Amino acid sequence: MSYSESQYPVVSVLIPVYNAETYIGRCLDSILSQDYPALEIVAIDDGSSDSSFAILEGYERRHPSVVRAYHQQNQGVAVTRNKAISLASGVYLMFADNDDYLEPDSIKLLVNKALEANADIVCAGFQRPDTHGTIVSRVIPSPETQWAPYKVSAAWAKLYRTDFIRENNLSFLSTNIGEDIYFTLPAQLLSNKTIIVPQVVYNWFYNTESVSNTLHKNSSNLEFTRTLTELHSFLQVRGLPIEGLAIHYIVRLIVWFLFYTRKGDGPSQSMKSLDSCIHWLDETIPGWRNDAFATPRKPTGDAISNRIATWLFVHHAMLFRVALRSIGCLL
pLDDT in tens, 186-228: 999 999 999 999 999 999 999 876 544 445 578 988 999 999 9
Radius of gyration of the chain (CA): 20
Structure confidence at residue 211 (pLDDT): 42
What pLDDT score was predicted for residue 63? 98
Q: Which of 129, 97, 126, 138 is nearest to 205 (CA)?
A: 129
User: Quick one: the chain helix, strand, coil %, rounded to 5?
Assistant: 45, 20, 35
User: pTM of the entire structure?
Assistant: 0.93
Residue-wise pLDDT for 55-76, tens only, equals 999 999 999 999 999 999 999 9
284-286-287-290 Cα dihedral, nearest 10 degrees: 120
Domain boundaries, the chain: 5-211, 216-326
The per-residue pLDDT string of the chain (331 residues; one tens digit each, 9 = 90 and over) reads: 445 555 899 999 999 999 999 999 999 999 999 999 999 999 999 999 999 999 999 999 999 999 999 999 999 999 999 999 999 999 999 999 999 999 999 999 999 999 999 999 999 999 999 999 999 999 999 999 999 999 999 999 999 999 999 999 999 999 999 999 999 999 999 999 999 999 999 999 998 765 444 455 789 889 999 999 999 999 999 999 999 999 999 999 999 999 999 999 999 999 999 999 999 999 999 999 999 999 999 999 999 999 999 999 999 999 999 999 887 544 4
State the distance between the two ends of the chain, measured CA to CA, in whole angstroms: 40
CA–CA distances in Å: residue 53 to residues 18, 170, 256: 9, 27, 36
State the CATH architecture for 5-211.
Alpha-Beta Complex (3.90)
Question: CA 109 to CA 157: how far, in whole Å?
Answer: 12
Q: Are 94 and 60 in contact (CB under 8 A)?
A: no
The answer to whether 308 and 316 are in contact (CB under 8 A) is no
**In the predicted model, what is the mean pLDDT of the chain?**
94
Exposure of 163 by Cβ count < 10 A (0-12 exposed, 13-18 middle, 19+ buried)?
exposed
CA-closest candidate to residue 159, choices 181, 127, 204, 191: 191
